[in-house]
Structure 1
Amino acid sequence: MSELRVRDLTLYYEEHGAGTPILCIHGTGSSAGGWGGALDKLAGRGRTITYDRRGHGRSERPEPYEFTSVEEHADDAAGLLRGLHAAPAVVIGRGYGAGIALDLVERYPGLVRALILLEPAILTLTAEAHAWEGALVDGVVLAAAAGGPEAGAESYYRRVLGDEGWEGLPEELRSTMLGNAPAVLAELKGGPLRPDEGALVQLRKPVLVVSSADSPPVFRAVDEVLADLVPGAVHEVVLGGPADPGLPEVLGFLDGVLDGRGRPGHENA
């Protein structure tokens, strides 16, 4: 077990493998342990760092924890990379973690070598997706008011994953995600992810955006918009499962970055 004091709290983190740093930023309600079998594949390619974001799992949770922002989490990620002398890193972000990764590269570009964004779902990029997100948040807030934080978090997961997707998760994983309910609600109260589109069109790092065909259509639509905004970004849509970092499309992109190939005409360091 490893911990590091970062800014105003202590973060739990793990390191696997050696070489070029690879920072994994988990999505809403997850943890450092949420990368599954992909972790061994990543660790075979570089110094892979996973961590519990503030308010999640074994990391410290501010009291009271009612509000957070993508900027606050990006500042934490920057502090972690600096504290571990792990920059520049290939940053892999999933869901909300992908939004953190985008804010990190916008405000701390020297800490990031490349981005792999797994279902970033920046829902402010289209009017339809933004309206869908508003309905999602309203439903979660109502559920939390009626049944408490865990009821609100479960409402969130069922709306995003579908009833079948949520109930198909291992019981231990569902328990972990519900245990992070206060963090889920704090993120939602922080408002939607709004990256600076002007900064995105100026981004000169290798970027991979990965969408799942099984996810809500609004997710794929905004992922396409995001990939179009970033010069030279690669967008992959995977079939029959989630956007996982162990997929061949992801590992092939990562190998290209680590081999120094990147994308012609773009930074790779």
Structure 2
Amino acid sequence: MSVIDVGDARLYYERYGHGPAVLFISGVTGDAGLWTRTAQALADEFTVVAYDRRGNSRSPRPEQWTSTSVDEQADDAAGLLRGLGIAPAVVVGASGGGAILTNLVLRHPEVVRAAVIHEPPFVSESSDPDEVGKQLGRLFEQGMATGDPKRALEGLLLWAWGEEGIAAAEPDLRRRLLANAEVFLTMELGAFIEYLPSPQELAGVTVPCIVAAGAGNRDPAAPYHHGYEESQWLATHMRTDLIELPGAHAPYLTHPTELTDALRPLLRALSPNTGRDSSPRPPSSS
């Protein structure tokens, strides 16, 4: 078991392979295991790290830790990169991990070589934020009515990941994810939803950034279409391309092979010379 002390937190992490450094940041449930199949597949060419965010899964809850913020989460990621000696790295963040990564490039640009940000939860910038809020509220209320936070988290994951995503999580991973329900619902959810950088901040980002959305969320009828819209908003204000990745909101679970195939050329292009030909800029799919 690999752990590292970062500030007041002890973080569990997994490290694979050799080559240019890549860090994966998870969103809801904060578990490194969401990226295992993708990380292992990329280990032939890259040093890949994923970690359990503070208070989640195998990263213990710090003493007297009762609240969090996206700033704190980004500080953890920066400390991890420095502590492992792999900064600057290409960093990939999805969902809440995308919000953390956005904060990271704004506040700790020196540790990020380049960023790939997938569907961060900037709900207020979707076309109907009130409806998204109502859906989230209904899921929370339905789950909490049972007296079991795990039921509330399971309902949210079903909405965000779909049945395919839930089914793709192996039993041990699923147990860990649901065990993080209290931390997510009482400490993280509000912090992620409230975080929104200004257009002026985003326009000033100096780190090369790619913003991604799930191809399966492009259709306005898709249950998580708002995630696609939020990525469109971010790409516009970062003045970068929007690209599509396979699947919907959780391609690391539903389409790990296709995700690996899509990420590999991006990581090559964004990393130091890997000894292979690479295009300096991915094509736009917006």
Report the TM-score when normalising by structure 2.
Answer: 0.81
Match of 1:68 in 2: 68
Equivalences for residues 127-138 of structure 1 within 5 A: 127-128=127-128, 130-138=129-137
Match of 1:221 in 2: 229
Match of 2:190 in 1: 189
8 Å Cα contact 2:127/2:226 also seen in 1: no
Taking only the aligned residue pairs, the percentage that are identical comes to 33
**Number of equivalences:** 263
Match of 1:151 in 2: 151
Of residues 103-112 and 206-215 in structure 1, the stretch that sits farther from structure 2 once superposed is 206-215
8 Å Cα contact 1:137/1:188 also seen in 2: no
> Displacement of 1:262 after TM fit?
3.9
> Displacement of 1:10 after TM fit?
0.7
Distance 1:168 1:37, change over 3 A: closer
8 Å Cα contact 1:227/1:233 also seen in 2: yes
Equivalences for residues 45-194 of structure 1 within 5 A: 45-62=45-62, 66-128=66-128, 130-142=129-141, 143-144=143-144, 146-163=146-163, 165-167=165-167, 169-185=169-185, 186-190=187-191, 192=193, 193-194=195-196
> Displacement of 1:111 after TM fit?
0.8
Equivalences for residues 189-268 of structure 1 within 5 A: 189-190=190-191, 192=193, 193-215=195-217, 216-238=224-246, 242-244=250-252, 246-259=259-272, 262-263=280-281
Distance 1:262 1:102, change over 3 A: farther
Of residues 80-89 and 66-75 in structure 1, the stretch that sits farther from structure 2 once superposed is 66-75
> Displacement of 1:209 after TM fit?
2.2
Question: What is the SS of the residue equivalent to 2:207?
Answer: coil
Q: How far does the alpha carbon of each residue in 1:26-58 deviate from its partner, in whole angstroms, 9 at most, with x for none?
A: 121141121132112322222211110011111
| Cα distance in 1 between the residues matched to 2:29 and 2:52 | 10
Question: What is the SS of the residue equivalent to 2:85?
Answer: coil
| Cα distance in 2 between the residues matched to 1:176 and 1:68 | 20
| Cα distance in 1 between the residues matched to 2:98 and 2:84 | 21
Distance 1:122 1:243, change over 3 A: farther
Q: How far does the alpha carbon of each residue in 1:154-182 deviate from its partner, in whole angstroms, 9 at most, with x for none?
A: 22212323456535644333222111112
8 Å Cα contact 1:119/1:243 also seen in 2: no
Match of 1:267 in 2: none
Match of 2:220 in 1: none
> Residue 214 of structure 1 aligns to which amino acid in structure 2?
G
Q: How far does the alpha carbon of each residue in 1:120-158 deviate from its partner, in whole angstroms, 9 at most, with x for none?
A: 242222351x32442244234423254232122122212
Report the TM-score when normalising by structure 1.
Answer: 0.86
> Displacement of 1:16 after TM fit?
1.1
Q: Which runs of 5+ in 1 are unaligned?
A: 265-269
> Residue 226 of structure 2 aligns to which amino acid in structure 1?
V
8 Å Cα contact 1:10/1:60 also seen in 2: yes
8 Å Cα contact 1:114/1:207 also seen in 2: yes
Match of 1:41 in 2: 41
8 Å Cα contact 2:212/2:245 also seen in 1: yes
| Cα distance in 2 between the residues matched to 1:10 and 1:3 | 6
| Cα distance in 2 between the residues matched to 1:236 and 1:211 | 5
RMSD between aligned residues: 2.6
| Cα distance in 2 between the residues matched to 1:94 and 1:241 | 8
Distance 1:40 1:72, change over 3 A: same
Distance 1:182 1:119, change over 3 A: same
